[in-house]
Structure 1
Amino acid sequence: MNELAIIARNITKKYKLYDKPIDRLKDSFTFTKKSKFSKEFYALNDINFEIKKGESVGIIGKNGSGKSTLLKIITGVLQPTSGSMEVNGHISAILELGAGFNPEYTGMQNIYLSGTIMGYSREEMEQKIPEIIEFADIGDFIHQPVKNYSSGMYVRLAFAVAISVDPEILIVDEALSVGDIRFQQKCLRKIEELKKDKTILFVSHDLLQLNKFCDRLIWINEGNLISDGEPDEVSKQYQAFMAGSSLDNYSEDEVEEADEDEQSNDIDSIDSSVQIFGDNKAIIKGISMFNAQRKKIYQAKMGDKVTISIKVKYFEKVNQPIIGFSIKDRIGNIVTQTNTFVLEQSIKNPNVDKSYIYNFGFTIPPLKRGTYTISPAVASGTQLEHTQHCWIHDALIIKIDDMQEHDLEGYMVLNNVSFETIKG
């Protein structure tokens, strides 16, 4: 029995690009191997990977990187220019918004159309219709042409049809980025259920979502497979790339000591095992957590007043730097974060070759007990558009004790909960 659901071997997809329409005609009369009327574009270039049955794999990459082309080759919509794609199992896919739907057909007619495309008879689809209608939950719009649907309604119907055929391999390409939050959560619960015995390929720009649902991440950039591995590791590499940097190990050699005061010396240095990215115009030299008495601590409980101190040295001029940090749980989900930009705290332009300490005072929120990490960062720009000078993953490890006797699901602990029974 083959334990592999998908095997990609040297997959290459090449297109010819023309500057003018007439060049396409001229090219058809060119019999040499290399044409002077066109240039080659590699949507995918020598891609190799294997996906095991029952594995959940996320595919990431910026727009135009080749993700959708790869999925279309996996589903057979496109054929590779060279290489081979072996798929073992029935595939159901949501490749694009409403892909496979005829806009002039009603939702009901498109259910039958989709079933025919996937090899099901009309009788078989009739048995599935109640389940599809219930999951899609679009009411009487099921009898209206889909050209009148909103993007959310498209996705509702497409997802309901895709899961109704009990696929062995489910492919979801950015579909859950639209629609209301209730339906998104409904789909995610269904995907969690399908993970038990299905192979799932999940394309999304939401790294937190992918880290939660996927066993692996595959990162594609400009048609090339850049990385394939553990979600946390690959997502860190991708974040660094999107910030215009590369992911490196922290090196104390990069940081020359400046004049230190007593408070500065009390801050822990960065461990050499952590990973860092940025353009190095500024480097974070240390981070620590202190209690109200300025005693260094590594454990706290809900309601404690603490200070996170971040020590930064500037190696080049940085105008109005933004200092901040994220608190993440043990699997890398960001629980909360803050920075000086959102706090509307403007920092005067720091001097080059000088170190500064930035103190963030706050009260520990009602987090569940457990181990958390703090990732500090230095940037400049705005919240949405900024240049990352230094970001350190998981620089500080802390423990939170929520003082609760029982462990419950979720991130936060509800406090001061009242309860009342009213006799009806």
Structure 2
Amino acid sequence: MSDIAIKVESVSKIYKLYDKPIDRMKESLSLRKKSYSKEHYALNNISFEIERGETVGIIGTNGSGKSTILKIITGVLNASKGNVIVNGRISALLELGAGFNQEYTGIQNIYLNGTMLGFTKEEIDAKVESIVDFADIGDFINQPVKTYSSGMFVRLAFAVAINIEPEILIVDEALSVGDVFFQAKCYRKFEEFKKQGKTILFVSHDLGSIGKYCDRAILINKGTKLIEGETKEVIDIYKKVLVNQLGDECKSDYDNNKVFEDGIWKKSMNINPNKIEYGNKLAEIVDFAVIDSNGIITNNVVKGELFSIKMKIIFNEIIQDPIFAFTIKDLKGTDITGTNTMLEKINISISKVGEIKEVTFTQKMNLQGREHLLSLGCTGFKDGDFTVYHRLYDVCNITVIATKNSVGYYDMDSEVRIK
């Protein structure tokens, strides 16, 4: 038996795009076979191999072609060019409730899906109990699935996919719908599958899960495979793609000598369009960036690594002892951590009109793997009164990528010894 579970050879998927609906009819009726369309490559010459027992992640931005390649592998779509070879029984969870009959009950859909996968009634009978237990949706299992919430849908769909003993499991973002407890149960099942030597192909925007569970990763961008290899390396390249920084210049942008009007740093950040901004702007934050351990401007920081928060301030008036600050909050607005130059006992002294200062806070990322919000500020005391010169509340997100989370907001990075 081959050690290759999935082999994708020079696969392309081409769609015809028409400027007007009538152009499709004109093309079909043209005696001279005149084309009224242009070709769009959803996938362009994609090749890779996945060995038996591997867990491989596919990552990329929305519209990059991730779901398209999975649908071709599972036979939902046909490739325009190329070939796909699959060795083993596939169970795929590509779209929420795909293959479910809305009028059937949960139990009836279990039998429907099992039959479509090639199981006999007796074989499905032996698996029904484990599927129902895993889904854990109570009496709704006997109700039509059209009455289900999205969470119930994904519970049942995943329970069917995971309990039919596939040799290859393919999952496309479906887990993002379930609650945190159900997700934990699914990931435990992933671990069981890995130990059993099963093959898993996993598509997700959750880089923490990709980093934790995948042996390798494949990055697809605009229908083309950019890189395939060690997971961390691929995630690092993906972080550049997210902020349009694929060239080597992304490592030096924050150190260059471009004038502040360019806003060169923040152009590479994912900025919150609903940020709150206020202050008298006697001192003004004109640029800022989050910089990871590789020197890349990014909204994504790996847990446990050093990162920097950097901002550039121009002074429109002489200011004595300005205070520079940052705060990181959770999505509910609770302050998690932060500091300022006064707390750090950094004396700025006098700042002159037109002077530009660059402030860098560098620290180890010990927050848990989840989304956070960053706020920046420049304040001080003017004529004895506390004064806000410029504040940017929730100016951007910081996504912490973690392969291990502990309890609460902060990881104490404990060292465990057992004798």
TM-score calculated relative to the size of structure 1:
0.66
1:35-74 pair list within 5 angstroms: 35=35, 37-74=36-73
Which stretch shifts more, 21-30 or 101-110? 21-30
- Residue 198 of structure 1 corresponds to which residue in structure 2? 198
> Quick check: 1:310–1:357 contact (8 Å CA) kept in 2?
no
Letter in 1 for 2:417: H
Q: Where does residue 29 of structure 1 map in the other structure? A: 29
1:20 Cα deviation (Å)?
Answer: 2.5
What are the residue-to-residue correspondences of 1:64-143 with 2, within 5 Å? 64-143=63-142
Letter of the aligned partner of 2:238 in structure 1?
Answer: Y
Partner of 1:218: 218
2:58, 2:66 within 8 Å by CA — same for their partners in 1? yes
Give, as a single letter, the amino acid of the residue that structure 2 aligns with 1:129: V
**In 1: Cα distance, 2:412 partner to 2:144 partner:** 55
1-side partners of 2:198 and 2:154: how far apart? 21
Once residues 314 and 70 of structure 2 are traced to their aligned partners in structure 1, the CA distance between those partners, rounded to angstroms, is 44
Distance 2:96 2:34 in 1: 37
Number of aligned residue pairs: 326
The equivalent residue for 2:417 is 406
- Deviation (angstroms), 1:222: 1.4
The one-letter code sitting in structure 1 at the alignment partner of 2:67 is S
What letter corresponds to residue 90 of structure 1 in structure 2? R
- Give the unaligned 5+ runs of structure 2: 258-291, 299-305, 316-322, 329-334, 341-347, 369-373, 378-390, 400-410
- Asked if 1 retains the 8 angstrom alpha-carbon contact of 2:64 and 2:220, the reply is yes
Quote the offset at 1:30 in angstroms. 3.4
**Residue 52 to residue 365, structure 1, CA distance change in 2 (3 Å):** closer
Secondary structure, in 3 states, of the residue corresponding to 2:129? helix
| Residue-by-residue CA offset, 1:305-332 (whole Å, 9 max, x unaligned) | xxx9969586999xx998689xxxxxxx
SS in 2 for 1:40: strand
CA distance in 2, matches of 1:366, 1:18: 49
Superposed CA deviations along residues 163-190 of structure 1, whole A, max 9, x for unmatched, are 1111110011111101211111111111
1:264-303 pair list within 5 angstroms = 275-278=294-297
Letter of the structure 1 residue corresponding to residue 297 of structure 2: G
Deviates more, 1:204-213 or 1:13-22: 13-22
How far apart, CA to CA, are the structure 1 residues paired with 2:293 and 2:118? 51
- For the 8 Å contact 2:7–2:84, the answer to whether it is kept is yes
Distance 1:324 1:219, change over 3 A: farther
- Percent identity at matched positions? 50
Distance 1:100 1:403, change over 3 A: closer
Q: Deviations along 1:80-127, whole A, 9 cap, x unmatched?
A: 001000111110010000011111111111111101111111111111
Task: Give TM-score scaled by structure 2 length.
Answer: 0.66
Kept in 2: contact 1:381–1:387 (CA 8 A)? no
Give the residue type in structure 2 aligned to 1:406: R
Give me the whole-angstrom Cα distance separating, in 2, the residues matched to 1:141 and 1:217. 37
- Aligned-partner Cα distance in 1 for 2:393–2:75: 43
Structure 1 residues 361 and 134, CA, compared in 2 at 3 Å: closer, same or farther? closer
* Match in the other structure for 1:245: 245
Runs of 5+ consecutive residues of structure 1 not aligned to the other structure: 257-272, 280-307, 326-335, 342-346, 368-375, 389-399, 409-424
